[in-house]
Amino acid sequence: MTTAAIPQDRTQTVTPATRWLVLSGAIIVQLILGTVYGYSIFWAPLEAKIYPPIITEAERETHIAGGQELGNVTVVADAAAAKRLGDTRQGYLKYAFAICILSFAVVMVIAGRIQDVTGPRFPAVVGACFMAAGFVLAGLMNNPFVFLLSHAAFTGAVGIVLLMVFHVIAGKLNPDEYPIIRYAPLGITAAVAVAGVTLGNQYVGHNGEFDQLFLLWGTVGFLAGAGIGFAYVCPIAALIKWFPKQKGLVSGLAVAGFGFGAYVFKDQTVGALAYINARGVLDFFLVHAGVCLVGITLGAMLLRNPPGTPAKVAGESDWQETLRRPAFYVLWLMYFSGALAGLMVIGIVAVFAGEQLVEAQKAAGAALDAAATKALLIKGAAAVGYLAIFNALGRIAWGLLSDRIGRTTAFVAMFVFQAVMMFLLAGMKTEFTIAIGACIVGFNYGGIFALFPSATAELFGAKNLGANYGWLFTSYGIAGLVGIAAGNTAKTMTGSYQAAFVLAGCLCVVSAILAIGLQLARQRAPVVG
């Protein structure tokens, strides 16, 4: 019986070096996509760019007594109130990261299926375009036309959703019996257009920081996340097909670039942080848009599927079959736990580490002026780099280790180590301990991106890995939203992230138990053929 082959690029001759070119392209694509983990360095410069400065009433009186112009400032009662307001502002900005992660995960469900049908290149290039568009629009946020363009795009998206809902509700009705079916889409379109123009004239571009905040959520949040979602699964799916006996290792190598991407952002000499300090965050957005478009597209051109791979082999399932299997939901919960712990820390690590150092100095009786406080915050930002490096190393190490000791043993060890670290993290208040904490969290977090793709391929097959892993990856998107919300809530209510860290640690313990249960179930009823 003849079976169809997985779509592949037939414009290149396959040579022994082809799979290494595919690996190189995968690393290039993932390196640029991974800059999403450097988002935490945006919050402070964006707060300064979008919101008016915060001063206390005492500082206001000093300025007035000195005859100085205050300009556009926000006056609060004291330093504690200023700190709370600053945390609240940055909390709003951090939702751009949460939206990015959620968009990343949701779009990957669609992109995974497209990848399975067309091969890896097309969706990866689409991802490059979306990611570049998000950063271009964010970099031009001071241009009124950008607000109108973004509002028009949002209004159009709402119109499409409403028309799709109408189609689902009325699609099977007879237009001759119910004439409204013929004309309702025109009415929906007209209503959305009128509402869009009315709301645009009344609100868009007239609300200062709120306009800019929503624009950031939609650009570096939703659009950039959609771009990552389109491109992310393509290198992984291609490599697992090229290296079927080293699934863990090649998954780790592919996504190691994703973990290392944030390190470029952290570097204060030649990296993104240095550029932001010199030229500003909006200029950086424009430059990064060009890097995303060119770099991801070039990497995508090196990706392809291997020739002659059968479309269907024993033990494989399509995404509909996968969603009917209990193993999928166990794996989903495990992914959610690991992603929640890592994303919670990644979203706040630069700010958290700096605050820990400042609090430790104050507890020791040190009198910190503004310059000393700023210096400690900069030292804290180094944790972003440590986490990024070990995030990348963890992907390779856990992938290689899991090929040797088995996926279940690796899962249990990774989740237990991460749980212990989450329980201890809030108590770390020196540069050394914070660095160690960031390294271990990053190392274990990186492991989920090597272990789960290979586990998905083993449980459900490699043919439909794009779609199956896309559905599994929805747990990552929800974890990003829940993690940021939990961290912000804990910080606002208690002044500390500890409660959120403990919650994440408990979930990791549960996931270690689930990994053992999943293995016992597979031994009783093997899943793979």
Which tens digits make up the pLDDT trace of 83-106?
888 888 888 888 888 888 888 888
Instruction: Provide the residue count of the chain.
Output: 529
pLDDT number for residue 432: 87
Distance CA 394, CA 202 (A): 50
- On average, the pLDDT of the chain sits at 82
pLDDT number for residue 315: 59
Distance CA 189, CA 308 (A): 47
Q: Where residue 307 sits, what CATH number does that domain have? A: 1.20.1250.20
Query: How many CB atoms neighbour CB 375 within 10 A?
Result: 15
Query: How many CB atoms neighbour CB 191 within 10 A?
Result: 12
Most confident of 38-47, 317-326, 415-424, 519-528: 415-424
Tokens 């892993």 belong to 469
Which structural domain, as residue segments, surrounds residue 329? 18-65+73-524
| pLDDT, mean of residues 20-44 | 84
| Of 56 and 517, more confident | 517
Structural tokens at position 52: 């008016």
Are the C-beta atoms of 35 and 263 separated by less than 8 Å?
Answer: no
pLDDT number for residue 527: 44
Residue 5's φ and ψ, nearest 5 degrees, are -100, 155
Which tens digits make up the pLDDT trace of 105-164?
888 888 888 888 888 999 999 999 999 999 999 999 888 888 888 878 888 888 888 888
Assess if residue 10 is contained within a domain: no
- Gyration radius from the chain CA atoms: 25
- What is the percent of the chain with per-residue pLDDT over 90, rounded to a whole number? 20
Assess if residue 4 is contained within a domain: no
pLDDT number for residue 320: 82
Residue 310's φ and ψ, nearest 5 degrees, are -65, 145
| Of 503 and 258, more confident | 503
Distance CA 38, CA 299 (A): 21
- Helix 18-33 and helix 247-266, axial crossing angle in degrees, nearest 10: 40
Rounded (5°) CA angle 5-10-12: 135
Assess if residue 13 is contained within a domain: no
Are the C-beta atoms of 51 and 209 separated by less than 8 Å?
Answer: yes
Helix, strand, coil fractions of the chain, as percent rounded to 5 = 80, 0, 20
Which tens digits make up the pLDDT trace of 70-87?
777 888 888 888 888 888
Classify residue 343 as exposed, middle or buried by CB count within 10 Å of its CB (0-12, 13-18, 19+).
buried
Distance CA 481, CA 497 (A): 16
Give how many domains the chain has, as a whole number. 1
Is residue 76 within a helix (H) or strand (E), and if so which, with residue range?
Answer: strand 74-76
| pLDDT, mean of residues 174-183 | 80
Distance CA 295, CA 416 (A): 37
pLDDT number for residue 152: 84
Return the closest-CA partner of residue 40 out of 311, 382, 300. 382
pLDDT number for residue 409: 93
pLDDT confidence band for 309 (50 / 70 / 90): low
Distance CA 87, CA 490 (A): 12
Q: Is the pLDDT of residue 262 over 60?
A: yes
Most confident of 7-16, 161-170, 344-353: 161-170
DSSP 443-488: HHHHHHHHHHHHHHHHHH-STTHHHHHHHHTHHHHHHHHHHHHHHH
pLDDT confidence band for 443 (50 / 70 / 90): very high
| pLDDT, mean of residues 236-243 | 82
pLDDT number for residue 264: 66
The residue type at 473 = F
pLDDT confidence band for 18 (50 / 70 / 90): confident
pTM (2 d.p.): 0.74
pLDDT number for residue 392: 82
Distance CA 334, CA 346 (A): 19
Cα 327 to its chain centre, rounded Å, is 25
Measure the N-to-C terminal CA separation of the chain; round to a whole number of Å: 18
Assess if residue 226 is contained within a domain: yes
Residue 265's φ and ψ, nearest 5 degrees, are -65, -35
